[in-house]
Amino acid sequence: MASSSSLRAAGSAALLATMKKAAMILRQAGVPLALAGGAAAYARGAAPPLHDVDFVIGEADADDAAHALAASGMTIERPPEGWLIKAFDGDQMIDLIFSLGGHPVTRELLDRAEEMDVEAIRLPVLDATDLAISWLRSFSEHHADFAGALTNVRPMREQVDWDLVRRETAGSAFARAFLVLLEGLDVIAAAEEPAGTGDADYVAGRIERALAEDPRTHELSVCVEVEQGVVYLRGEVASERRRLLVGEVAGEAAPGLTARNEVSVIEVLPPVEAGA
Amino acid sequence: MIRVAAVGDVHLGPDVRGRIRPHLDDIAGCADVLLLAGDLTQHGTVPEAEVVVEEFRDLAVPVIAVLGNHDFQCDSPGDITRMLRDAGITVLEGSGVVLGLPGGRLGVGGGKGFGGGFRGRSGSEFGEPEMKAFVRHSRELAEALGAALRGLDAEYRVCLTHYAPVADTLAGEPPEIYPFLGSYFLAEAADSAGVDLAVHGHAHAGQECGTTPGGIAVRNVALPVIRRAFAVYTLDHQEGVRHPDEARIPAPAV
């Protein structure tokens, strides 16, 4: 047991040394960055990262970042995913990520990062709420292991604006499932109905009527649901233009609410003979 | 034997043009007639009806249509009907037509139909004048349809409506809106004439197959249900196939 935990400590120490080295190099190269992933969770109170260190950077700075790290002797890999670059400092791995769960890393995201003391240096660390959003958005069919995210989220739960997380991840069934898990484990409080949610049925009714009666749409087959201040539009229409008009008319009927237009355009397949 | 092609709820307009036509060039190879089950347009306008005409005119098989509620939206069902008829498309409303086809005489009786609901859960001509008018309108359309169907002198007969005659083919729609999707009056009209097949549209989230209380096969051919340019059903008295697509149903295991 003792040897295993000291191995862990040794592994973390080497990784954290690489993290500090990369951060200095990137900073000297003038690349705006923020610590993300498990290392950011570590800065915010979780256990130290074991496998890699994630930095987020703007995609426009990706080449500069790769050159600077390569010039210092690190090996650069560009995986086919297209949204990150990997840098190897010997055995230690760094991910330079420019798209988090399908959302590009923006100037605003980097500006929200907070300067914190990490291993005796000052480093911008991704905002706790942005960090939680990045984990919840990353869940998919192929990546639905909640254990890692749960370990990371627990120690920083007080720092996160969970209402914002709910709104920003409302489109993902995996994120909703993870939030239910957090509620069940008492990591976070159950969502409070936002003020005025009692009106959700009336809002949905108003949008449905607008979609049926507005001369731009006349759509009777679009299903409208209002949840947590988000309007979900689902169903099928005959053209892309009609799909966009559904979003437009629904938006006008419910000003101030976020509309998620999940309506699709029906595809006409060739006929098939009976008995075929 | 007669092969009936059918589709409904194409909701055409200038932004939805030429989507069905490419699939119709060879229709004579697989069908003897094409039925259109209403909601030919999205907003019920004349420019949209022009697109409908372009899409369905001059086919190698006769085309028979009824209008749907969308085709009434801009108060121009008369203009739309005229345009379709000028293009050689038969438009039915409480009326019927008999076609001499190679496989026999096919009679089609049709009409838009209307709502009101299904037995045990339907409206009646009671109370406010608006409620009476709603149910009366549905009943009168169905009565005219029934008379048209019974008057067809043909070997094969098909009932064509936009609204649904049974609740079977609505499964998938919220039960609360069934009274807006159809009326049992329509099934009663079809059963009174003992037709071979009842075809309808209107219920986009419904399912394709159902049966009237009298045992007539019902098919919901709304495009979002069948998801293809048209469905084809075979009527064949010689083969004893009463069910229009019985060939697709495997024999029960003994």
Q: What is the mean pLDDT of residues A132-156?
A: 90
pLDDT score of B203 more than 80: yes
Give the Cα separation of B25 and B58 in Å (integer).
10
Chain A hits for B228, CB-CB cut-off 8 Å, are: 268-272
Chain B hits for A241, CB-CB cut-off 8 Å, are: 15
pLDDT score of A163 more than 90: no
Among the residues of B45-91, which ranges form H helices? 46-56, 77-86
pLDDT, position B237: 83
CA dihedral (B170, B172, B173, B178) positive or negative: positive
The gap between the terminal CA atoms of chain B, to the nearest Å, is: 29
pTM: 0.62
In chain B, positions 12-51, which contact chain A (CB-CB < 8 Å)? 12-13, 15-16, 19-20, 23, 27, 30, 42-43
pLDDT, position A195: 45
Residue of A nearest to B71 (CA): A218
Q: What is the mean pLDDT of residues B14-33?
A: 94
The verdict on a CB contact (< 8 Å) between B247 and A272 is no
pLDDT score of A13 more than 90: no
pLDDT score of A133 more than 50: yes
pLDDT tens string A100-113: 888 889 999 999 99
DSSP B123: -
* Rg of chain A over all Cα atoms, to the nearest angstrom: 23
Chain B hits for A242, CB-CB cut-off 8 Å, are: 15-16, 42
Give the Cα separation of B226 and A223 in Å (integer).
20
Q: Which amino acid is at B205?
A: A
Sheet holding A84-89, edge to edge: A75-77, A84-89, A92-97, A52-57, A33-36, A121-125, A114-118
Nearest-10 crossing angle of helices A128-138, A173-184: 120
Q: What is the mean pLDDT of residues B152-177?
A: 96
Nearest-10 crossing angle of helices B184-193, B129-150: 20
Asked if A104 contacts A93 with a C-beta cutoff of 8 angstroms, the reply is no
Class of domain B2-247: alpha beta
Give the Cα separation of A123 and A131 in Å (integer).
15
Bridge partners of residue B109, in order along the sequence: B96, B159
In chain A, positions 224-253, which contact chain B (CB-CB < 8 Å)? 235-236, 238-239, 241-242
pLDDT score of B20 more than 80: yes
pLDDT, position B61: 98
The percentage of residues in chain A with a pLDDT greater than 90, rounded to a whole number, is 61
**ipTM confidence score:** 0.78
With an 8 Å Cβ cutoff, is A266 touching chain B?
yes
Q: How do beta strands A230-234 and A223-227 pair? A: antiparallel
Q: ∠B64-B68-B123 over CA atoms, to 5°?
A: 125
Of residues B134 and B242, more confidence is placed in B134
- pLDDT-derived band at A170 (thresholds 50, 70, 90) equals confident
- pLDDT-derived band at A200 (thresholds 50, 70, 90) equals confident
pLDDT, position B240: 53
Which of B12, B30, B234 is the closest to A271 by Cβ? B30
Among the residues of A29-172, which ranges form H helices? 37-43, 62-71, 107-112, 128-138, 146-153, 162-168
With an 8 Å Cβ cutoff, is B209 touching chain A?
no
The gap between the terminal CA atoms of chain A, to the nearest Å, is: 66
pLDDT, position B252: 35
Q: Please provide the average confidence, as pLDDT, over all residues in chain B.
A: 93
A187 Cβ contact partners less than 8 Å away, ≥ 6 residues apart = A150, A153, A154, A157
